Amino acid sequence: MNGEPMMLWYKAWRESRMRFAMIAVAVAAICVYAVLFHDQIQANGIPIRPGLRDGAYSENIYQFVYSGTAKGVFALLVIFLGLGGLLRERAHRTAIFTLALPVSRMRLILTQIVVGLAEMAALALLPALLIPSLSPLVHQSFPLAEALHFSVLWFGCGTIIFASAFFLSVVFGGEYIAPVACYIALISQSLVAQWAPLRPYRLNLMWTMGEFGTRHWDPQHNVLLSSPLPWTRLLIIALIASGLFALSARTTQRQDF
């Protein structure tokens, strides 16, 4: 009996480890490129946002990683990390084995969710580990506090993307329906949030992931965070994600296999 919980955790990890590894490699590659080739990126003319200064290393990293390419790749690929549920296992003909395990469906689903969230937390922390560590190689520095600030934003906003993908994969069978539906929902949310009456509420999930608030600059051209994290929005996101996880568990319990 003592080996059953470990077997369940290992099963969830084994089913998602390839997707996790592919996302980690993609995000890491972008971070390494942004640091080692920042001069070339700047020479190619990345657009400078209002309030940012042309030529500063920290702004280039911010625009390419935390508000640009890496952020978009993370948001889109987290969709595939969130694929789970018994319908997906039925498509791979492993549902019979899973249901034969001496554990409840609720426990199966919760294990998949917890493992997925742990993997997503590791992915969100990856830029914070790589960028400050690699920056000295190009005689630059990047504040760890700022990197961790965006890690929290990536994990918080990524939670609802992960939860949406998980719920859709529980509801819809097939390999592509859930990720396509989640992608459409993510794009639609960004478009709706840009509607003028809703814009003051800052509901755009992608914008929140790269939010930088009000900044102050130090003499070394490092970016110092002066605004707190949007805890209210992150709490609302967490509540919505929790609701989607609860619906996923409830739906799985009612499914007939």
Tokens for 113?
């969710």
pLDDT on residue 51:
46
Tokens for 209?
């992931």
Q: What is the mean pLDDT of residues 66-93?
A: 87
* CA-to-CA dists, residue 207 to 31, 66, 117, 219, angstroms: 19, 10, 21, 28
Banded model confidence at residue 257, pLDDT cuts 50, 70, 90: low
pLDDT-above-90 percentage for the chain: 55
| pLDDT > 50? residue 14 | yes
**What does DSSP assign to residue 203?**
-
| Tens digit of each residue's pLDDT (9 = 90 or more) over 185-237 | 999 999 999 888 888 888 899 999 987 655 555 555 555 555 688 999 999 99
Q: Could you tell me the end-to-end alpha-carbon distance of the chain, in angstroms, rounded to an integer?
A: 25
Arithmetic mean of pLDDT over the chain: 86
pLDDT on residue 218:
56
Helical H segments across 37-68, by residue range: 38-43, 57-61
Question: Could you give phi then psi for residue 169, rounded to 5 degrees?
Answer: -75, -25
Q: What is the mean pLDDT of residues 43-59?
A: 60
Q: What is the mean pLDDT of residues 162-183?
A: 92
| pLDDT > 80? residue 44 | no
For residue 224, the SS3 value is strand
**Which residues are CB-neighbours of 223 under 8 A, at least 6 positions away?**
58, 59, 62, 143, 146, 212, 215, 217
pLDDT on residue 104:
84
pLDDT-above-70 percentage for the chain: 84
pLDDT on residue 212:
65
Domain boundaries defined on the chain = 3-254
Banded model confidence at residue 47, pLDDT cuts 50, 70, 90: low
pLDDT on residue 213:
57
Mean pLDDT is highest, among 103-107, 125-129, 140-144, 213-217, for 125-129
Tokens for 247?
């619906």
Banded model confidence at residue 88, pLDDT cuts 50, 70, 90: confident
| pLDDT > 80? residue 132 | yes
| pLDDT > 90? residue 1 | no
Q: What is the mean pLDDT of residues 66-88?
A: 91
pLDDT on residue 133:
97
Exposure string of 2-36, with b = 16+ CB inside 10 Å and e = fewer, is eeeeeebeebbbebbeebbeebeebbbebbebbbe
Contact 97, 8 (CB under 8 A): no
Question: In 75-187, which ranges are E strands?
Answer: none
pLDDT on residue 115:
96
Between 50 and 195, where is the model more confident? 195
Residue identified by tokens 């992960």 is 162
